Amino acid sequence: MTTGHVDAATIAVGFVGLGDQGLPMATAIAEAGYPLQVWARRQASITALGNAPRTAHPDVRSLAAASDVVILYVPTDDDVLALLATDLIGAAKPGAIIVNAGTGTPRNAARAAELCAEAGLHFLDAPVSGGRIGAEARNLTTMAGGPVETFNTARPIFDTYSAHVLHLGGHGAGQTAKLLNNALLMMNQASIAEILELAVRLGIDPISLAECLKLGSGASEALTRMPTNSEVSLSGTATHLAQVELLDMELFDEAMNDAGVDAAAATARGIAGASSLVSVVALLNPLDHIRTW
């Protein structure tokens, strides 16, 4: 692939990971005119693309051979490295770009980049922030690490599902930014939990206070995302999200240790925020909690 303006119809984009967030991302790519190449373990994941134009492949190697850019949105760095070793290296087109859009560590991003370079491929770590809601609205934030020339080539693809696309630096910089972003979100959740606890002790309605704070100078993205008075139970969703956040804090701690940076205080604060999520959601949603204020 070459940099500069290229007609989308000439760049085939492979996508592996049609999950909660990957599905709307892949849909956006297809609807922007890129020939979408997909593979999934379950046919239901392919069917969920609806009318979005795509070519389904029987395996990842077939997808790789048909793609100029391959975006991976899989759960872990181990999954990324395994796909590189068993399916992409040796099958992907020479000069193809491999993108990890999931969350991982800078160290593993550098390792993936090395493996790709040895095979004549290019690599970007380009995790996203915004969740499924952001993906469906196509206003995610993409944080990319890797050579600027490779980034410039892939950027129009990122633009299909992102409102903001940022190049942070070399390999691993995108993952570093994402982990810092995640840690800050969870640290803010810890502050929200503490403030709402104070509200309860002071006899103030925490639900009304949360809605008030969302409009004030104390607002944050973490607070804005906190639902209140939901008409459905959110306990299961909150529990799952808290588990994901705790895993993200493990990655954050690993990345800081790899870099030789003492971030123990930030790690502890982030873990506290993730651990408080279920109780805060319950407090703000009567279906999940009997209000005692």
Supply the residues annotated as catalytic.
178
The DSSP result for 214-272, as a single string, is: TTSTT--HHHHT---S-SS--HHHHHHHHHHHHHHHHHHHHHHHHHT---HHHHHHHHH
The DSSP symbol for 94 reads T
Spatial separation of the C-alpha atoms in residues 156 and 10, rounded to whole Å: 13
> How many other β-carbons are positioned within 10 Å of the β-carbon of residue 53?
12
From the list 154, 217, 203, the residue with the least C-alpha distance to 4 is 154
CA angle 245, 250, 254 (to 5 degrees): 145
Contacts of 72 (CB under 8 A, 6+ apart): 16, 17, 79, 80, 83, 98, 99, 100, 101, 102
